[in-house]
Structure formats: structure tokens, C-alpha cells
Amino acid sequence: MSKDLNSSRIKIIKPNDSYIKVDRKKDLTKYELENGKVISTKDRPIASVPAITGKIPSDEEVFDSKTGLPNHSFLREHFFHEGRLSKEQAIKILNMSTVALSKEPNLLKLKAPITICGDIHGQYYDLLKLFEVGGDPAEIDYLFLGDYVDRGAFSFECLIYLYSLKLNNLGRFWMLRGNHECKHLTSYFTFKNEMLHKYDMEVYDACCRSFNVLPLAALMNGQYFCVHGGISPELKSVEDVNKINRFREIPSRGLMCDLLWADPVENYDDARDGSEFDQSEDEFVPNSLRGCSFAFTFKASCKFLKANGLLSIIRAHEAQDAGYRMY
């Protein structure tokens, strides 16, 4: 110890000091509330809330014995009780999903009726409520517009449950890529940390490989362009989407970036028709809110829709208090 150290400022704590002694005779299985009521620390405070399961399920429970596909009904309830999978089970489902999704085109061609859903962001119980309101995916077609992970605490459960529904309903359940389905954002936000807490880097990497094969956009009834973010100055024809190499991380610029990152300009609703814009006004402006991509104007939307014979753009990417918004 340094001789210059002021010894008067040092307090030596000894194991037998009274103020650090633990009362070993105290019953730690009981706790007295402020009102004097004594409760058991072994009992659940709210008995009606189901206990979290600590059991890793068997392969026979996770995978259907006849089809070999994930048992989505079992997974739904298992995840409801905050159950986990083994590492091998998780990677198997992710790899199966990657193979199936990689066979789909960049631009899906879909038929109505179809229920279209926006960002999920790790909210597993909201996802279950969505299906409760929207209907059984085995009977109703669904299109999800991306952003399944980050922010919420159950991103993995959302992703695996959606993938299990996809694998069991290949012709009527569809998933697009959102801007959060990439290594860059999941490392910055919460998904990577969630995966390292629940599993490990190998499972996280398998998730990211599945992100890289998700389709980028959908065309419904040849009239509605469905995408996570928006349109791009590089998007002249909807068929331009199929020219993209989507099997990679999301680039910082270009058509693929814009499809997943673009937003309408803030004053988009101020225009009722193209007549309010003079010929010199930009159709696209830098997206300062996001720090990348563009914000597109009403004029840009009208031009794109007219050139492709479309009625509307259906997008996600922004939370809406009412659940949806008509621009």
C-alpha cells in the first residue's frame, strides 16, 4: 500500500463485523409486506399467470412425424409459455425456412383476398392477437411486410413461429424482408443480444442467413404494390425488383435499400393531386429522418403508379396509432 495514501479514509471490513452479518436464522421462504401480510416467496404472486416452462421439447414434439415440418400448433403454445428450443431444433427450422424462401422470386405475385400485416418487432403476444383477430393462417392468406425482429423481447419466437407457419402454408403465407432483417441493425438494436442470451452466435448467424433470402416486394392482383419501405428513383417498373441480387446484406444505397428504407415525405398529405407540385419540385428528397435512402413525394407516387398501371402502394415501416393510415 502506498505510504502517501491517507489511511484515515480507508475502512477495513472484517467478516465478523455486525453490519455485514447475514441472519442465517431468517426464513427466506416468507416475506412480510408493508401492510403486515406475510406471503410465501415460493408461490407465484399471481397464480392465474401461467408458469414459464423450463423444458426443452423433444424432436417428436417440435416436428410433425408425417411431414417433418415444424409443428406450428405446438410451437405456438410452447412459446406462449416462454419455452425455448434446443440449438439443433432452432437451426433446423431456420435452415428449412432459408431453403424454402430462397426459391421464391424477389417480387411475389399474389391474389386477393389476403390479409396484410406490418411490423411485428418481437411482440409475440401481439402477434398471437393479430391471428386471433385476422383469422387462422390455415384458412386465410397472409402477407407480412417485414420487421419481425428487434425492440421486443420475443423476436426469436416471432420469427420461428412465422417461419413454421410459412413452411406449413407455402401457397398462402408470405413474408417480405424489412430493414431490420439484417446484421447491421440487429447488432445495433436488440435481436443479436437476445440471441446470445437465449442461444449463441451460430443460431444468430442462421437467422441472418434466412434474412438474406426473404423476398423484397409483392404485387397483389396486379394493382397493389406491397413493400416494407417505399419506392425509389431507380424503380421505374415493378419488374425492376426482380433484377436485384437480394441474397446479401442490405446495401447502404440503391434500389434494394430504398425498397426497405424509404418513407413518404412529411407533408405528403398536403397534396390532393399532382397539380400542387410545379415541374421543378424534386420527386425524391434525402431521408434525413433515417439517415439513408429517400423520402418520396405524392408526385413520385402518382408517377410510379401511372407508369405501372397500379392503384396503390401498401407499406409498413412506420407505427400508426390507429393501426393503419390512408395517405
Whole-number Cα distances in Å, 57 to 69, 76, 85, 247, 316: 15, 13, 7, 32, 35
**Residue 299's CB: how many other CB atoms inside 10 A?**
21
Q: Which three cell numbers stand for residue 177?
A: 424482408
Report how far residue 103's alpha carbon sits from residue 269's, in angstroms, rounded to the nearest whole number. Answer: 38
- Give the contacts of 309 (CB within 8 A, at least 6 positions apart): 222, 223
- Which cell goes with 7? 489511511
The set of cell numbers assigned to 212 is 438474406
The single residue of 180, 184, 197, 228 carrying the catalytic annotation is 180
Cβ contact 208:97 at 8 Å: no
How far apart are alpha carbons 82 and 100 in whole angstroms?
Answer: 27
Place of cell 412480510: 32
- If you ran DSSP here, which 8-state letter would residue 279 be given? T
**Annotated catalytic residue 121:** no
Cα–Cα nearest to 305, from 241, 224, 229: 224
Residues with catalytic annotation? Answer: 180
